[in-house]
Structure 1
Amino acid sequence: MRILFVGDIVGDAGRKVAIDKLSYLKDNYAYDISIANIENLAGGFGITKETYDA
C-alpha cells in the first residue's frame, strides 16, 4: 500500500495547491490513500464546511 501524507494545508493558497497537485501526484505516483493535515484549512482558523467542501 502506498500512502501520500501531506503536511499542513493552510488557507486558500494551500487549498489551491492541493487541488491542483493531487491529481498529478495520483497519476504519477499511484498512491492508494492520501492523508492530509487540514486543521488550518480556513486560513489558520480551523475547518469550515465551505473550506472542507472546496
Structure 2
Amino acid sequence: MIGVSYDQQQQVWFARLMFRGKYVLLKSFVKFDDAVEAREEAEREYFHK
C-alpha cells in the first residue's frame, strides 16, 4: 500500500503522509492493519474535506 512500509531493522510498519510539503503522518505500528488504518484516516482528513 502506498504510504505504508516495513522497517526490517526496527521490525515495525511505518505509515506516512506528506501534505503541502510536510509530513502530517509519520508513525510506526506493530501491525500492518493499524498502519493502513492510520494512513487511510489521514488521507480522509487531509484530502477529502
> What range describes the TM-score normalised by the shorter chain of this pair?
0.3 to 0.5
Q: TM-score w.r.t. structure 1 length?
A: 0.34
Structure with larger Rg = 1
Bigger proportion of residues as helix = 1
Relative contact order, CA 8 A, sep 6+: which one is greater? 1
Q: TM-score w.r.t. structure 2 length?
A: 0.36
